[in-house]
Structure 1
Amino acid sequence: MISIKGLSKLYKTKHQDVKAVDNVSLDIKKGEIYGVIGYSGAGKSTFIRLINRLEEPSNGEVLINDTNITGLSVGKLRKERQKIGMIFQHFNLLWSRTVYDNIAFPLEIAGVPSRERRDTVLELIELVGLKGREQAYPSQLSGGQKQRVGIARALANDPDVLLCDEATSALDPETTDDILDLLVSINEKLNLTIIMITHEMHVIQKICHRVAVMDQGKVVEHGDVLDVFVKPQSKTAKRFVQQLSPLEHKQDTLHRFITKDENSEVVKLHFIGNDAKRALITDVIKRFDIEVNILQGSISPTQEGAYGTLYVELKGAANTIQETTQYIRTSGVEVEVIRDVT
């Protein structure tokens, strides 16, 4: 669907050259919600603007449905952009136009006849949950309603791709969840490919199928959301995961729960998908002559299933502890022995 090859953007200044995007290559499947996350200055907003050439790339290619966007003339690019919708952090609405007229605007530019335009606009207003607000102006809308107008306007030309540049960062948490639910619904109903740019791991967790982590213009890690959450490889990804799982990488907090005992072992268990719902601890206690002390844990949902982390102390004979951890591993649960806690 989307193939990005060696994409780079170099800004030249008097004193230095700055690579905002540095040799990024990604493949995005049709119909998936793909997240791109990074801290401020990572290059993610420049990256998304390169996809539809709101910024001109210094190097590389962007292919959408086998069309090389980076090689199009201005006239052909204008036509191709009609199939690439975009929503922004600060809505970018026309303040002198009503909800209806804001959504109709791209259809007017495309030369769509008035009757067809009306049918499309009313359909989109209902899709994004703004029925009854057709004649309201942006100043009369809440932040969430403004973003719903932005989404409807981006969908007006029936795009294949929807680019979302920090689309929820100006919204409160409850409204953010509402907008994310709407995007998931649109993705499922229209089989629309969505690229989400964000600095919020909650957004990635809630709706994305796969994710790329950016730092200093480079993609430092990418893969399925569950894989990145459970086994973050880069320093940047680990910091983001810690935002949602404060237990991660804070093993010093376990000290207060643990009694130093030669006959005990502290382990971290990773549960993924259906394993997160299993009564594994009960099963272990029944099977082995071992004492299990639950120290702390958490479980989180993602678009691809739930994942959980559980820290436990196993107390018993050394060989029994070894048999227990082996049994847990064969049950499909990842086990990590925490040697440096005690």
Structure 2
Amino acid sequence: MMISIKQLSKLYRMKSQNVQAVDDVTLDIKRGDIFGVIGYSGAGKSTFIRLINRLEEPTQGQVMINDTNITELSVNKLRKERQKIGMIFQHFNLLWSRTVYENIAFPLEIAGVTKQKRRDKVLELIELVGLSGREQSYPSQLSGGQKQRVGIARALANDPDVLLCDEATSALDPETTDDILNLLVSINQKLNLTIIMITHEMHVIQKICHRVAVMDQGKVVEQGDVLDVFVKPQSKTAKRFVQQLNPLEHNQDSLKPFITKEENSEVVKLHFIGNDAKRALISNVLKTFDIEINILQGSISPTQEGTYGTLYVELDGNRSVIDETIKFIQSSGVEVEVIDDVT
């Protein structure tokens, strides 16, 4: 494992009360993964990411990165180890009196890199993040997306193994968010960089993450492959996030106006995963069975791990034919759920 986190906790002790910001978190993150951590405000996710590079000191537990126990390092060794852990922030944290070039060069100056090597590295990073021609611009002259590109380039200056992203797209509009997410995917693939994404936006998880952990009140209440969590969320928190992506799917009363017949029909929900989402299942059913199909509602969504989709249909025909049709659909690898409370 690239990163192994064991029983990590953070307790803030205050006069009026103690606050358990992170509570006994255990996670393993593979090299080259884009790992998402999602939770609502106050879930502890930003504290958690700051514990990874010890911007916050843990109350207990350990963080292992590349077989190095980050939680046991002395101050001097930690400073050196942090050079391998890049970090980008929601509000960019740029040096406003420095140009784009100078912002990106700053961590290389601190690391004692020679002027010529600094120049070569900065120009390489400026091209990588798509800011060629803006080298001498100041942050006040840049859009939000461009500022975040500077932040990403600066975080990559010391060739880190890990990139921590704390709500990196929260201050951006939807189109710019997608541009930054596409850039992060490109960097992940080009550099085999392990990325940890902290977010409260399920769209971010859906678009770029391979695996996800769901946090609530300091605890990880669910974790797994993004596709598994999206298709079959187990925790209340995960279900709420998934519902945000397609609220109509979770409001089955919205189907009622589209149902044509009530006595001889069955409403079913079909779950498609991976290649099943691309197959011509409905046309195959119509060719095989004497049945009518009324498509009520559906959606297909891509993730980094594959496509998933749901389709609500009304099957109308002889009872035995409906039963045979459902068995046929199940035999094709598509999950079928009969919806009893809408007909």
Global fold match (TM > 0.5): yes
Offset at residue 260 of structure 1 (A): 5.1
Report the equivalent of 1:72: 73
Offset at residue 245 of structure 1 (A): 1.4
> For the Cα contact (< 8 Å) 1:247–1:297, is it kept in 2?
no
Letter of the 1:172 counterpart: D
Report the equivalent of 1:318: 319
1:149 corresponds to 2:150: yes
Report the equivalent of 2:35: 34
Report the equivalent of 1:89: 90
SS at match of 1:93: coil
Deviations 1:157-186 (CA, angstroms, capped at 9, x unpaired):
000000000000000111001000000000
Aligned residues: 342
Separation of aligned partners in 2, 1:321 and 1:220: 39
Report the equivalent of 1:181: 182
Offset at residue 326 of structure 1 (A): 1.2
- The CA RMSD measured in Å over matched residues stands at 0.9
Deviations 1:112-140 (CA, angstroms, capped at 9, x unpaired):
11111110000000000001110110001
Matches within 5 A, 1:1-342: 1-259=2-260, 261-342=262-343
Structure 2 stretches lacking a partner, 5+ long: none
Offset at residue 262 of structure 1 (A): 3.1
Separation of aligned partners in 2, 1:341 and 1:54: 52
Offset at residue 207 of structure 1 (A): 0.5
Q: Which moved more, 1:15-24 or 1:42-51?
A: 15-24
Letter of the 1:213 counterpart: V
Structure 1 stretches lacking a partner, 5+ long: none
Offset at residue 256 of structure 1 (A): 1.4
After TM superposition, what 4+ stretches of structure 1 lie above 4 angstroms from structure 2? none
Separation of aligned partners in 2, 1:261 and 1:306: 32
Q: Which moved more, 1:259-268 or 1:190-199?
A: 259-268
> For the Cα contact (< 8 Å) 1:33–1:210, is it kept in 2?
yes
SS at match of 1:306: strand
Separation of aligned partners in 2, 1:96 and 1:60: 39
Deviations 1:228-254 (CA, angstroms, capped at 9, x unpaired):
111111111111111111223211111
Offset at residue 66 of structure 1 (A): 0.7
Separation of aligned partners in 2, 1:305 and 1:20: 34
Offset at residue 78 of structure 1 (A): 0.4
Separation of aligned partners in 1, 2:248 and 2:26: 33
C-alpha spacing 1:17/1:260, structure 2 compared with 1 (3 Å): farther
Offset at residue 338 of structure 1 (A): 0.8
Separation of aligned partners in 2, 1:118 and 1:188: 24
Separation of aligned partners in 2, 1:139 and 1:241: 37
Separation of aligned partners in 2, 1:64 and 1:341: 51
What TM-score do the two structures reach when normalised by structure 1?
A: 0.98
Deviations 1:32-85 (CA, angstroms, capped at 9, x unpaired):
100000110010000000000000001111000110100111110000000000
Offset at residue 322 of structure 1 (A): 1.4
Offset at residue 261 of structure 1 (A): 2.4
Deviations 1:191-249 (CA, angstroms, capped at 9, x unpaired):
00000000011101110011111111111111111111111111111111111112232
